[in-house]
Structure 1
Amino acid sequence: MPTIEEDLRFLITELQEERTNTGDELATCPIPGTFGEAWDLFRALCNTRLPEHVSGEFLAKQDKLLHAIIDEEGITYAGLIPPCESDPRFAVWRGDITTLAADAIVNAANSQLLGCWVPGHYCIDNAIHTFAGVQLRIECAAIMKAQGHEEPTGQAKVTSAYNLPSSLVIHTVGPIVENGKPTEQHKRLLAASYRNCLDAAAERRCKSIAFCCISTGAFGFPQEEAARIAVDTVRAWLDANPKADMHVIFDVYTEQDEQTYRAILGE
């Protein structure tokens, strides 16, 4: 049986052969000898791959590889994350959302809804597409082709999670705040992202959903203000929809982010 290393070399070779005669530097880059460097090349090739058909053999080896990497990292189960004492409907978790087993995780997407195309970029959009596999970009492309226009800010689209431990990915485009000073429209659109993600999760009978920090970071929304909007919006939705029985996890990246959410939640 081929090893994970052999599968990785096969996958890189297949991806490079797709780009024969394109002049793409990634197509002619020698496959590195170490697993880590080879993984970086594989990830870069996937991040910049068009959403086109791929063979069953490729998918089988890719899925095996991704499952092995995620399993080695360690899967966290949503139901085992301690709830907030102030409101047990909430939990705050600092960790990698691509290793979280929840009914749904939320992706901070761009308006093309096709993932991040920057090779190796460590934004959440790139990470989710990387570890879900090439199938996710293909599904998103089909959604966008049927829609016929870019994804509006504040809406939500649902896809399979493929190789991620979660069941579904809910993609939302948050508002971009260029000067770090959100307007009332920015605030309304951010709240709409949270509500529409919750509506989408409830429609699919999800009992757990993990939110990333939508619109913060490169999108420019100040973190503390975004966190307050997130908590207030989700709490209002839960109060208005008690039958949904939804467990909401705020997945944060830094210790400061975690402290901010816990303070807002009264922890």
Structure 2
Amino acid sequence: MIPIRAESDAVAVAGTETQLSALPLTAYRSAVALDEPFRPTAAPATAARLDAHVRSALHLLSTDPAVSRLGLRSDSLRSLADAGAETGAATARRALRALLTVRDPGPLPEGADRELDALLGAERHLRPAVSVLELPPIEEKLRGTTFPAAAEVVLWRGDITTLTADAVVNAANSRLLGCFQPLHLCIDNAIHNAAGPHLRDDCHTITTAQGTPEPTGTAKITRGYHLPARYVLHTVGPVVQGRPHAQDAQALASSYRACLDLAAQVETIRTLAFCAVSTGVFGYPKEEAAPVALRTVADWIAAHPGRFDRVVFTVFEDADERAYRHALSAGARRDWSAM
């Protein structure tokens, strides 16, 4: 994922410029049908039918302009789709994932919706689902912690696309349309791949209405489509080169607050899972991002007691988990408000 930032992204994120350029929820809520449940056009496929749906979707999408971006021709993609057992199912699925990654937002060819809904619905059920409410909070995992929100907050290591939460947070870039690099191992790509192409369509609806790239430190919300989570919050964290400055910490804190503030506007959101915002290709050092994230969320929870049942910090790699555990143990030795 290439971090793209508008020149108007505010350095002082809480400033007037960011507030004026960020579209409020009321301006796009109905446009993305946020309060309507997602109704797939087809039931989840059986495991035995997955490859058939992949190949059918490839065939239907073979004339899409995005095919040339993969260095392929329509006839070669159709040949791949028609190859059957002689071409592995994994190869065909990677080709479909890559095609959807580079494809622009917009209507799918007739019949493709059904094929993709059957495929993505099946893949969702094949992934192990993890209920947020069954995860132990920090106070149970780290006995004696002084972290002020330890009863409400969870530290969990795993794949955020498997979390059964009301909402999950995506680390987006300022285009807000997802990652366009095929098979790139970023959270933005993972969430869009699991949710399906309608997620990009909703983000395009929002950015078109806003008329500007998404400012740093703000957030937008869409439905989650084929994710276990009903909603996705998309936030643009700061891009850091070298050591972060005070303005970077302010921008990162603003991203976390923006997600919490926005989620609180949707009455049905009671559980919320964060990824580690800005700590991937955006370059924010993990050890310095973790205490900012923890302190910001703890302060928000203290100011809004009882609003959420669980807030989860989702980490994926050893280094991420170590950063959070170190921040929590450091906090035990000093006042959290001073961190």
TM-score where L is the length of structure 2:
0.74
- 1:133-181 CA distances to partner (integer Å, 9 max, x unpaired)? 0101111111111110100000000000000000100000000002x21
Counterparts of 2:265 and 2:258, CA distance in 1: 10
Counterparts of 1:265 and 1:88, CA distance in 2: 14
Counterparts of 1:20 and 1:265, CA distance in 2: 46
1:55-70 equivalences under 5 Å are 55=109, 57-70=111-124
Pair 1:35-2:98 in alignment = no
Counterparts of 2:69 and 2:289, CA distance in 1: 43
Pair 1:245-2:291 in alignment = no
Q: What percent of counterpart residues are identical?
A: 42
1:163-202 equivalences under 5 Å are 163-178=226-241, 180-202=242-264
Contact 2:168–2:232 under 8 Å retained in 1: yes
Contact 1:16–1:26 under 8 Å retained in 2: no
Q: CA RMSD in A?
A: 1.9
Contact 1:209–1:247 under 8 Å retained in 2: yes
Higher mean Cα deviation, 23-32 or 256-265? 23-32
1:55-204 equivalences under 5 Å are 55=109, 57-85=111-139, 86=145, 87-178=150-241, 180-204=242-266
Aligned length: 266
Pair 1:12-2:58 in alignment = yes
The alpha-carbon distance between structure 1 residues 84 and 153, as it changes in their structure 2 partners (threshold 3 A), is same
Contact 1:26–1:45 under 8 Å retained in 2: no
Structure 2's unaligned 5+ residue stretches are 1-44, 140-144, 333-339
- 1:191-245 CA distances to partner (integer Å, 9 max, x unpaired)? 0000010011111131111100101121110101100000000000000010313
Higher mean Cα deviation, 83-92 or 209-218? 83-92
Contact 1:238–1:246 under 8 Å retained in 2: no
Contact 1:155–1:193 under 8 Å retained in 2: yes
Contact 1:210–1:249 under 8 Å retained in 2: yes
Structure with more contact order per residue of length (Cα contacts < 8 Å, sep ≥ 6): 2
Higher mean Cα deviation, 82-91 or 3-12? 82-91
In the TM superposition, residue 20 of structure 1 has moved relative to its aligned partner by 8.9
Contact 2:162–2:227 under 8 Å retained in 1: yes
The alpha-carbon distance between structure 1 residues 21 and 105, as it changes in their structure 2 partners (threshold 3 A), is closer
Higher mean Cα deviation, 64-73 or 156-165? 64-73
In the TM superposition, residue 5 of structure 1 has moved relative to its aligned partner by 1.0
Q: Which residue of 1 aligns with 2:16?
A: none
The alpha-carbon distance between structure 1 residues 90 and 44, as it changes in their structure 2 partners (threshold 3 A), is same
Counterparts of 2:305 and 2:66, CA distance in 1: 55
The alpha-carbon distance between structure 1 residues 9 and 196, as it changes in their structure 2 partners (threshold 3 A), is same
**What secondary structure is seen at the aligned counterpart in 1 of 2:169?**
strand
Counterparts of 1:23 and 1:195, CA distance in 2: 37
The alpha-carbon distance between structure 1 residues 36 and 21, as it changes in their structure 2 partners (threshold 3 A), is closer
Counterparts of 2:254 and 2:297, CA distance in 1: 10
The alpha-carbon distance between structure 1 residues 172 and 264, as it changes in their structure 2 partners (threshold 3 A), is same
Contact 2:66–2:104 under 8 Å retained in 1: no
Contact 2:61–2:112 under 8 Å retained in 1: no
